[in-house]
Structure 1
Amino acid sequence: MSLIAAHRVQSPTLAMAETLAASDVQLSLERTTATSTDRSRLHFWANGADLDAFETNLRADDTVADFVRLDEVTDERLYSAAVDTTATLSAVDEEFDAISLSVQYTDGWWHTESRFPDEDSLDRYRTWLTDRDADIEVENVYVEDVSDRGPNLTRRQRETVLLAYEEGFFEVPRQATLTDLAVEFDVSEQAISQRLRRAYSRLVAGSYGK
């Protein structure tokens, strides 16, 4: 058994805090790669009304050592940015033997879902954040039963895929739209689209990946 904690975090000490405060964007973290003992590269998708302005702000951001645009699809861009490891939420993985399942930035908050080995580890993580002037709001904590987990999806991904199926999103013609699902979860259409896309990726990898 392990604990899954869905929570949101806001802190001026996190990497890209000033850039995100000045930019109307949403981020979805793909992965974090450690490049040295104190430096990591964040690989993330960004979407918003003015991504050129976002890049301008990134160049002036003292918490970003360098960044590069890797890809662009419609209104989204994939970036890789070098930052201080201790200024990222991915530090949870090393410090508390936890696993970040999903990390997204929207509405001024980092929305995160992480797997912790036990309640003590989660409590120490919360203390670690508050000691760094971070606001943390835990939205939900539940015990994960591995035998009942099914495909390796996060809780939100499972809920979204299940609701999409029940509402007829996968029917031809569709009986529900991204807008309908976004209303149900009180998030943007873009957030629902990204959540479904990542769920598809995990389902395919789990079924057919090597």
Structure 2
Amino acid sequence: MSLIVIADIAHPDLALTPTIQGCPGVSIEVVPHSTTDPETGLFFFLVENADESFEDALGRDPTVAEWTPADDLDSTRIYRLQHTDEAILISPAVSELGGLLLKAESVDRGWTVRLHLPDREALATLWEYCEGRDISFDLHRVFRQDEWTNGRATDLTDEQRIALVSAYEEGYFEEPRETSLEELAERLDISPTAVGGRIRRGTGKLVETTLLEE
């Protein structure tokens, strides 16, 4: 029975980690198709709230060999990157185990990843792979594929779920609002921009996986 795995991964040399840590207000998401052929060395990323400081950070990032903007979609940009040999990538290891990197989204220390793996043995092997390279692998949830496809779990990251629940509990969705993005950011220890992005993307995903399906 195949598995859906959600985990946080972190390491100083993990791809784009220096940029992520240097630009806490920027949200980065891997374009999934770009990880299906790791041998090309080219990866695409969706970036929200990118500015000159973000591109300066890319230029200093030791995990990035080359980068170029590929498209500009209002507040979201697409960047095409090639990593250095020193950059740590988890997608090749996942592919070797017969798995897929379904989603990767930046968090404070590194990445939250959603993986499709063939079985628990593959998960254990991936865990050992990360442990042997000092890659932090913080496992959040594991679902069997049938649980995922039957809709018992929405396609939310842990960060989006926490932000949405916190916003609801603190009265952010009330009229008038009983809290602000700044207050939520202080509670969650992240920037107001990051809170707003998680609430926006999480709400969009809930609509996509519930109302649109109905």
**TM-score, reference length from structure 1:** 0.70
CA change 1:188–1:123 in 2 (3 A) is farther
Alignment check: 8 A CA contact 2:31 2:44 kept: yes
Taking the aligned partners of 1:197 and 1:121, their CA distance within structure 2 comes to 33
Per-residue CA deviation, residues 62-83 of structure 1 (Å, 9 max, x unaligned), is: 733331163376xx66241222
Give the aligned partner of residue 45 of structure 2.
Answer: 43
Taking the aligned partners of 2:197 and 2:96, their CA distance within structure 1 comes to 28
Alignment check: 8 A CA contact 2:127 2:137 kept: no
Give the aligned partner of residue 169 of structure 1.
Answer: 172
CA change 1:101–1:54 in 2 (3 A) is closer
Q: 1:196, CA displacement in angstroms?
A: 1.2
Taking the aligned partners of 2:53 and 2:156, their CA distance within structure 1 comes to 34
Taking the aligned partners of 1:45 and 1:81, their CA distance within structure 2 comes to 11
TM alignment of 1:92-131, pairs within 5 A: 94-96=95-97, 97-106=99-108, 109-117=109-117, 118-131=119-132
- The aligned amino acid for 2:212 is Y
TM alignment of 1:23-38, pairs within 5 A: 23-25=22-24, 26-34=26-34, 37-38=39-40
Please say which of residues 90-99 and 160-169 is displaced more in the overlay. 90-99
Taking the aligned partners of 2:188 and 2:60, their CA distance within structure 1 comes to 35
Give the aligned partner of residue 68 of structure 2.
Answer: 67
Where does the alignment leave 5 or more consecutive residues of structure 2 unmatched?
none
Q: Cα RMSD (Å) of the superposition?
A: 3.7
Give the aligned partner of residue 212 of structure 2.
Answer: 208
Q: 1:194, CA displacement in angstroms?
A: 1.6
Q: 1:169, CA displacement in angstroms?
A: 1.1
Taking the aligned partners of 1:7 and 1:16, their CA distance within structure 2 comes to 14
Give the aligned partner of residue 80 of structure 1.
Answer: 79
Percent of residue pairs bearing the same amino acid type: 22
CA change 1:122–1:187 in 2 (3 A) is farther
**Paired residues, number:** 201
CA change 1:188–1:89 in 2 (3 A) is farther
Alignment check: 8 A CA contact 1:92 1:100 kept: no
- The aligned amino acid for 1:81 is R
Structure ranking higher in strand proportion: 1
Where does the alignment leave 5 or more consecutive residues of structure 1 unmatched?
none
3-state SS of the aligned residue for 2:110?
strand
3-state SS of the aligned residue for 2:33?
strand
Taking the aligned partners of 1:200 and 1:70, their CA distance within structure 2 comes to 25
Alignment check: 8 A CA contact 2:8 2:139 kept: yes
Please say which of residues 194-203 and 109-118 is displaced more in the overlay. 109-118
Alignment check: 8 A CA contact 1:33 1:40 kept: no
Alignment check: 8 A CA contact 2:8 2:137 kept: yes
3-state SS of the aligned residue for 1:176?
coil
Q: Which of 152, 156, 161 in structure 1 is aligned with 2:159?
A: 156
